[in-house]
Amino acid sequence: MIKKVYLLVIGIFISMSLSSCFDIVEEINMKSDGSGAIVGILNMSKSRTKVSSLMKLDKIDGFKIPNQAEIRKQVTTLVQLLKNTKGISNVKYKLDFTNYIASISCDFQDVNALNAYTATLAKHFKSNLNTYSSYSYNSSNKTFERSYKHNPEAKKEFDKLKPENQKSFDQAFYTSIYRFQQTVLKQSNASGKVSTNKQAVMIKVPIPTLINGKANLANTIVIK
């Protein structure tokens, strides 16, 4: 289930993250017609020395450590699946094994395709991520919405980790950024911040608060 938390954006370098500081960033760029682009980034550069050492191990807390070849194979498979997903195009990825930064991006035709993107990730990694997070966009009233509910199984799995591995999550953050072509009139998330130019909304929360159900990613954003 810890893997399901990471799959909010990209499912690689998963096992190594159990003992490393990391950041997950999800950025969605929405156009006025409801199409757009999404990029997911897993940044472990703050712990690259430790991750490099972990790559030499076989398992951590029962989680298998994939080698570079296995990671590349998994990502290549995922990219092909996304390319075959209806409404998804321009799929790209980057793997930086020096700084341990991974990203995957694509364009989506509409919000249904954006949800299909999430569903493809969930199916590939055998998670139910898409049942806990989804998106909608109403072009008539210019409202973008993200629904989100906490998965209690996340905390159960997190509690199985050794205390030292749990503590490593203290410096782990999840950031979501939503960019628009129009001005943001209002947004509903208490942790959300509107950019200076009024065309983006950012939410940044510690990952432990997500795991423990103390943070909510749900948001309703109304644009001009």
- Structure confidence by residue, pLDDT tens digits, 20-70: 578 889 999 999 999 999 998 888 887 777 766 666 666 665 666 777 888
- Whether 223 and 142 have beta carbons less than 8 Å apart is answered as yes
Q: What is the pLDDT of residue 35?
A: 96
- Whether 12 and 71 have beta carbons less than 8 Å apart is answered as yes
For residues 155 and 117, which has the higher predicted lDDT (pLDDT)?
117
Q: What is the pLDDT of residue 14?
A: 45
Cβ neighbors of 70 (< 8 A, separation 6 or more) are: none
Structural domain boundaries, residue 157? 2-223
Q: What is the pLDDT of residue 149?
A: 86
**Contacts by 10-13, CB closer than 8 A, 24 or more apart:** 10/40, 10/41, 10/42, 10/102, 10/103, 10/104, 10/121, 11/74, 11/78, 11/121, 11/124, 11/125, 12/42, 12/71, 12/74, 12/75, 12/95, 12/102, 13/42, 13/44, 13/51, 13/71, 13/100, 13/102
Whole-structure pTM value: 0.84
Q: Which two tokens stand for residue 167?
A: 């503590």
What is the count of structural domains for the chain? 1
pLDDT in tens, 91-141: 999 999 888 888 999 999 999 999 998 888 777 766 665 567 899 999 899
